[in-house]
Amino acid sequence: MIDEKRGLGGKVVRFAVFLKCRGFKIFQSSVHDTLRCLEEISLEKKEDFFVSLRSNLATTDLEWIQFRDLFDQFWNRVNEAKNPDKDELEPERERRKEDLNEEFLPDDHVDLSTAANNSDKKEWLEGVAYSPVSMVEKKDIGRFHRGDIQVAQLALKKMMEPFKIDISRRSKRGRKSGDIDFPRVIRKSLKTGGIPFELFYRQKKKRLKRLAILADVSGSMDRYARFVMPFLLGLRGVGSRAEVFVFSTSLTPITFMVRHLNVEKALKRIAMEVPDWSGGTRIGYSLHQFNRGHGERLLNRRTVVVLLSDGWDLGGKDLLRREMAFLSRKAYSVIWLNPLAGDPDYEPLCRGMKSALPYIDYFLPADSLQSLKRVGRLLSRIMIH
Amino acid sequence: MSSHFKSIDQVVDELADSSYIADRALATVLFLAHRLEKPIFLEGEPGVGKTEVGIVMSRLFDTELIRLQCYEGLDSSTALYEWNYPKQLLHIRLEEQGKREREKIEEIIYSPEFLIKRPLLEAILRSEEKAPVLLIDEIDRSDEEFEAFLLEVLSDFQITIPEIGTIKAKKKPIVVVTSNRTRDVHDALKRRCLYHWIEYPSFEKEYKIIMVRLPGIESRFAKQVTRFMQKARSVDFLKKPGISETLDWTMALMTMQRDYLDENVVIETLGCIFKYQEDIKRFKEEIWADQETRGEYLTD
């Protein structure tokens, strides 16, 4: 019996590794607890065994849904004594190549692996570089006036003002205003024999809202390149919590470059690392990458998401709708800046824009730095009410 | 009733005795949670009976239920303990004329008598003879700071009050944590728990639940209601009706002395099933407008 159990223990550990390869979050302690659980149940019933593993190794509904399939896959395979974690990268690459099809709806399995592999830059880029729509030629992204960055900075600061302060329900010590801080008054009054001479106050804590910017740099946005780059680089002056991404057919985080490098270096690195600048647009898929890969970390009720795009989308519209719905549910507020929206005759007719519109909190025009300033004024007016 | 789970079958039986219809998977998780002394982390759509698990656990173990409802801004002074400051102040005032020394007064005003016990401290203090059930409801509503703090308490059930000392639970309380998934709960917390996702019940299960919860209902009527609800759940509404809506609705119908579903009574009581104006509108326009689908919903 003990021998048998030891063998089983090994298998369970391998199963945990197998799940980890598929994007599950597996912790050392959960594996340990799984083994402890197996001590408690009788192993004759497969269902009980399954449930014990699931309750320990799955931690989200997404994992929960996939668990049965993966369980069957692994435990049937284990009996055939195969190595479980080898042959999974190939089909995934195949999948990525297919994903330009109109009705592409990535299934959960692929998403999780993409998210997990995001750090693996090389592999990731390999997947991205294959794209029939992406143009070979790279535009000169440094083609703008350097002084514009400061202008953009000011405009952005103005724009973010209404979102900047997030009043928490937690409190901190305050100066002569707010509620009286009774614990502190009492504590300090002890030295005067219980008579409170001094009063102390508490105020609601204020914290910065978090900003996530996703900018479209596809071919159709080229006309506004003079505005987009200063806009992105302007973020270096706006609080410490801004995260910046650019997308065309897929998403690239450029926060590091924007924040930590000087302008020239940043431009060089961005040109190097964004493989499909001026390429085609798949907003839906890029949002999907954002939501899956960065959503958990970045999206919460303190996040303001700013999307900068003209809404021309080559991807499936269902995907875009779904991802926008997810975004609007998770984030505090979604702002869509559309360069075309400034035109009084403009109607959001293109398919992408139309399906995204119901999930946008503020749909605002921005095609130049001047209009960005206007946006700032507009937003502060809206937010005051 | 036994206070000790010996096998999964026993858990299934005892749950059924306490009129909680659960599938074997949930019973297994409860069993394991009890044996391993791990908290249970329950997720699921609203109204599928997550909170009910905590309540039924307290009934099974014949012990107290201590409930901590989470909300944004919940902090340690409302979850753990707080000194009763007004009472302390009054006491100091009263002692002013007396001859007691200051140290003595301090000792008095920092005694347990002046402590307001909040749910977490209560759970630890009550565990002297019998471990209570601690239900931490809707953890996703609290903020991250509180979650981090909760971790500390859940890991060793020990609280240090500087003025009194460290209080440690004699027996680990049974902890049930529920979440509606409005935000992701941190991994560190999930890692310490057994995870279970409660799904919408199947037809048989929902029927059984109605029969157990509402004794006196006719079996034919219960079946009709169940079929209606199962069908309504297959449509992608903003908020699908949960099992609690089923029970509310059936109860409402029984109060109205109905024992059969017809077209009018459904429209009259639609507010029991759907909680959003958009859903009600959609139901009326897309489903109820059509004679044929109406018939499908009302078959018995």
Q: Which among B194, B22, B176, B7 has a CA at the least distance from the CA of A40?
A: B7
Query: Over 50: is that where the pLDDT of A97 sits?
Result: no
By Cβ distance, the residue of A37, A182, A194 closest to B92 is A194
Q: How far is residue B80's CA from residue B159's CA, in Å, rounded to a whole number?
A: 9
Higher pLDDT, A103 or B285: B285
Query: Over 80: is that where the pLDDT of A138 sits?
Result: no
Q: Return the pLDDT at B178.
A: 94
pTM over 0.90: no
Q: Return the pLDDT at A90.
A: 40
DSSP assignment of A61-98: HHHHHHHHHHHHHHHHHHHTT--TTSTTHHHHHHHHHH
Q: Return the pLDDT at A3.
A: 47
Judged on CB neighbours under 10 Å (0-12, 13-18, 19+), B265 is middle
How distant, in Å, are the alpha carbons of A125, A163, A232, A334, A345 from that of A379?
Answer: 37, 9, 19, 12, 22
- Under an 8 A CB cutoff, do A168 and B143 touch? yes
Q: What is the mean pLDDT of residues B226-255?
A: 90
By Cβ distance, the residue of A36, A47, A189 closest to B24 is A47
Tell me phi and psi for residue A125, to 5 degrees: -65, -35
DSSP assignment of A96-147: HHHTTSTT----HHHHHHHHHHTT-HHHHHHHHH--SSS-SSPP-TT-S-TH
pLDDT digits (tens, 9 = 90+) for A252-292: 888 877 777 777 777 777 777 776 667 777 888 888 888 88
Tokens 């869509």 sit on residue: A336
Task: For CA atoms B248, B249, B253, B259, give the dihedral sign.
Answer: negative
Helix (H) and strand (E) counts in chain A: 17, 9
In which band, very low, low, confident or very high, does the pLDDT at B134 lie, cut at 50, 70 and 90? very high
Q: Return the pLDDT at B56.
A: 92
Given CB atoms, is B199 within the 8 Å cutoff of chain A? no
Q: What is the mean pLDDT of residues B252-272?
A: 89
- Under an 8 A CB cutoff, do B24 and A169 touch? no
Q: Where are the beta strands (DSSP E) in B24-122?
A: 40-44, 65-69, 81-83, 115-117
Q: What percent of chain B has pLDDT over 70?
A: 99
Higher pLDDT, B174 or A86: B174
Q: What average pLDDT is seen over chain A?
A: 71
Q: Return the pLDDT at A344.
A: 67
Q: How far is residue B230's CA from residue B239's CA, in Å, rounded to a whole number?
A: 14
Q: What percent of chain A has pLDDT over 70?
A: 64
Measured between CA atoms, the residue of chain B closest to residue A170 is: B73
Which stretch of A101-105, A228-232, B94-98, B158-162 has the lowest confidence by average pLDDT? A101-105
Q: What average pLDDT is seen over chain B?
A: 88
Given CB atoms, is B106 within the 8 Å cutoff of chain A? yes
Q: Residue A317 CB: number of other CB atoms within 10 A?
A: 17
In which band, very low, low, confident or very high, does the pLDDT at A83 lie, cut at 50, 70 and 90? very low
Is there a contact between B56 and B20 (Cβ–Cβ < 8 Å)?
A: yes
Q: What is the mean pLDDT of residues B83-87?
A: 89
Is there a contact between A266 and A256 (Cβ–Cβ < 8 Å)?
A: no
Q: Return the pLDDT at B54.
A: 92
In which band, very low, low, confident or very high, does the pLDDT at B254 lie, cut at 50, 70 and 90? very high
- Under an 8 A CB cutoff, do B28 and A169 touch? no
Q: What is the mean pLDDT of residues B264-293?
A: 87
Q: Return the pLDDT at A128.
A: 31
Interface of A with B (CB under 8 A): 25, 27, 29-30, 33, 36-37, 40-41, 47-48, 51-52, 54-56, 58-61, 64, 168-170, 182-183, 186, 189-190, 193-196, 296, 300-301, 330
Given CB atoms, is B294 within the 8 Å cutoff of chain A? no
Q: Return the pLDDT at A299.
A: 83
pLDDT digits (tens, 9 = 90+) for A298-331: 787 778 888 888 877 776 778 888 888 888 888 8
Most confident of A86-90, A147-151, A205-209, B210-214: B210-214
Q: Where are the beta strands (DSSP E) in chain B?
A: 40-44, 65-69, 81-83, 115-117, 133-137, 158-161, 165-168, 174-179, 194-198
Query: Over 50: is that where the pLDDT of A88 sits?
Result: no
Query: Over 90: is that where the pLDDT of B247 sits?
Result: yes
By Cβ distance, the residue of A27, A40, A61 closest to B191 is A27
Amino acid in the structure at residue B194: L
Query: Over 50: is that where the pLDDT of A150 sits?
Result: yes
Query: Over 70: is that where the pLDDT of A382 sits?
Result: no
In which band, very low, low, confident or very high, does the pLDDT at A120 lie, cut at 50, 70 and 90? very low
Amino acid in the structure at residue A73: Q
Beta strands A333-338 and B174-179, pairing class: unpaired
Contact list in B for residue A169 (CB cut-off 8 A) is: 72-73, 143
Measured between CA atoms, the residue of chain B closest to residue A46 is: B25
Given CB atoms, is B32 within the 8 Å cutoff of chain A? yes
